[in-house]
Structure 1
Amino acid sequence: MNRPRWHLAAPALLAVMAACGEAPSTPDPVASLSVSPAQPVVVRGDTLRVAAVAYDASGNALGGRAVTWSSSAPDIVSVGATGLLTGVGRGAATITASSEGLSQAVPVTVVAAPPAVTGFAISPAQVDVSTADATVEFSATARVDAGMQMMSVHLESVRNGDINQQFHSCFTPVAPATGTSRAGTWKCSIVMPRGSISGAWKVKNVSVADSAGKGTGYSDAQLAAAGMPASIQVQNHNEDLTAPVVTSISVKPASVNLAAGAQVVELTFTATDAGAGLWRGYVGLRPPVSGTSFTCGGAPVEGEGVQAGTFTCSVTVPANTAAGTWKLSIDVLDRPHNLRIYDGDQLKAAGLTSEVVITP
């Protein structure tokens, strides 16, 4: 039986195809590049990776295409072979991705690094305020890329069980005690008054803020974890744990009529303190419904440390202020910072002026 002729021809045809091979395909050319993120922002001293994707004329992503990188200002931002950006100096620059004759540029902004405390010291670490005040100095060494605006320290007694939680704060001037505004040491002092609570006082917060509006805060736990001091010891055989007492309140005028426009209201109160003496007092006017309050205050007229003093201040009530009965509130502190707060109901219960009527 004769086999079909095509059975004989097929092996020969396959052999010819194998010998000749198929013509290699031409890869699609790169028609466009895309870089992401499109507007990268890098913190000075930090790194950020960007990526470039090549596309063909139909918008299909092309894999395995070589990409090279360049920076218009390496002193502001540098870029590595894999697209890793490094913030070198604050400012703006452009990075460019190139592949097969095409390129795509994107703007890069290098911003200031947030301020960082690199050292913190307290002197002295132990004070005795049994008979007189004692001054404690706080020093913070900081790296502030955008220039220092403020350093602050907040100190609190750890005896939370006391009726009045005592606290103190201090703030530095903009200029450093040593160094420069970008790398220096800033100092501020707190006067621990006679009568302060004895025992440990924690540095509840050290904050540094730069001129660009960035701030960093450190709690006592963070300071301790960094090997920095986070507390002081106070000795005192004559503690003052009693907050001041308000004895009278005067409001002039007692009724505020806004028919003729804005009115100035004078607020005066007297207080006594049996311990280390008065320090600050503040008066508030609270609206009948939610809205803006008015507050004023300061030191007693007779000066800090008096045991019976007068606090006086004034607020301007605008013509468009909501009419109704506004309640008074008072915060009064003594020198050790024992705080007593009176709301309107407490003032009324004490038989003191507690409200102001405002009419349109």
Structure 2
Amino acid sequence: MSTTVDPAPATAAFEIRPTSSPCPDAERAELLATPTFGTVFTDHMARVTWSAEHGWHDRRVEPYGPLALDPAAAVLHYGQEVFEGLKAYGHADGSVWTFRPWANATRFAASARRLALPELAVEDFLGSIEALVRTDAAWVPSGEETSLYLRPFMYASETFLGVRPAREVEYVAIASPVGPYFASGVKPVSIWVVRDYHRAGPGGTGAAKCGGNYAASLLPQQEAYARGCEQVCFLDAATHSELEELGGMNVFVVGADGSVRTPPLNGSILEGVTRSSVLTLLAEAGHDVQEAPIRLADLRAGLEDGSVAEVFACGTAAVVTPIGRLASDDFDLTVADGGTGPVTAAVRGQLTDIQYGRVSDTHGWMHRLL
């Protein structure tokens, strides 16, 4: 998923239009002391405009603020939009890095293609991220488990109600200082396995990172909350018997023998950057790693007889999160006494050590932004 690209020329193409009213230093320091996921945003945003006539143009970093949308903007009626998520990490020496941004840029282009949106060049994707982080470097937090979450997105801005691909599009990247994704921190979460709803189906948009997939997950997510669970797990739409992914994360199952399985990429599962990295790290650690279907019936039996030792989820926002409980209408099972297993803890530690610069990056996954 990664192709190394030098973003420097594209970064220089972004005109910096600084805000006249930046957040005061004291207020920003207070916000950075205890960041909550996705509630506070930096002073600026990066933007690029596209039209069928002019292509991609007007690359700039400008003050963060509301977007002007006509009530007939195509995105509001047909959902033609895609997004990405990655993080900027402050290292002990004061430098700022991001993790495998080329993979996010490549996936962003693939998502755009699936939604009939114009593909943003990898150089522009990386250039926008670097220009934004350099402009708002003071917003990169330095506390434990903190980072600057980056949210690039693209939407159909054309004022038009006909059903066809938009001829005017906006790309925007915003940034938010964050702490742990789950309010409880890095602790085992409970998962509700839903049977009446599906995240995506064969031939659909499951492999694209688009808002519609997440919107479809919100009602079953509410059901999960009502049952005392933090997340929902979807089964495949064809047989209703195999695990696919959570509302926003990929899922892994660890056997008592140390083997690890995760559902294969079948067109309805998002190709997670963290998922790919976890697969690499587990294989290097000597685990028998398989991308293979995971039947719910087999997982239940494994939890009951002890042949399944750990279950965890992974994604950019939550990194690696242990799963302590799986439940549905007809079962309620505890995973490894509800605790974080050694395989989960080890791979999470390896990954975060690389991201925060605590160990050498032997894979070439990190890219310096500042």
TM over 0.5: no
Q: Which has the higher contact order (CA 8 A, sep 6+)?
A: 2
Bigger proportion of residues as helix: 2
**Structure with greater Cα Rg:** 1
TM-score normalized by the length of structure 1 = 0.27
